[in-house]
Amino acid sequence: MKNLLQTQSIAWAQGVRVALEAEGIRAVILDEHDRGAMGVLGRVRLAVLNDDDVAKAQVIVARLTPPPTGPPPSWRWQKRGLILLALDVALFVAWVTLLEGSQAEGARKPGLLIYGLAGVVVILFIGGVSLIILGPRADKR
């Protein structure tokens, strides 16, 4: 008897056992009623009874295992857009602080720094929103 897999899902172990038995491979589930720490379900083991069937069983498990998933391709674009918007908020606060400081000093015209920072805030906002909106187009490829 050889261990084939360990999982926390009894349903997954039962499904694999049924698939193995459909192929003529005898398998058993071990530790099905074992409780782990604090009453949380522990590891469930699936074992193949005949050691000669392990290689064939591993092929069946590999075929049944779903491919790993990750974030969609659009997340790369949208994540950068969110970073730009977060940076934009910080620069907007700095811009408002500079603008209020220049207004408090008198009726002086806002300086070149304030106009430049306002332009950067607008450009970052447009860029961030554009990346977030255009992100899902990457999923269509």
Tokens 């674009």 -> residue: 77
Residue 31 CB partners (closer than 8 Å, separation 6+): 42, 43, 44, 45
pLDDT digits (tens, 9 = 90+) for 56-113: 999 999 998 888 788 888 899 999 999 999 999 999 999 998 888 777 766 566 788 8
121: Cβ contacts below 8 Å, ≥ 6 apart? 88, 91, 92, 95
Last residue of a domain, one of 64, 82, 117: 64
Same domain, 8 and 59: yes
CB-CB contact of 74 with 136 (8 Å): yes
The CATH number of the domain holding residue 52 is 3.30.70.790
Residue 82: domain span = 74-140
State whether 136 and 83 are in the same domain: yes
Same domain for 104 and 54?
no
Same domain (yes/no): 78, 29 = no
Tell me, yes or no, whether 69 lies in a domain. Answer: no
Would the pTM of this model clear 0.95, i.e. be above it? no
* Counted domains in the chain: 2
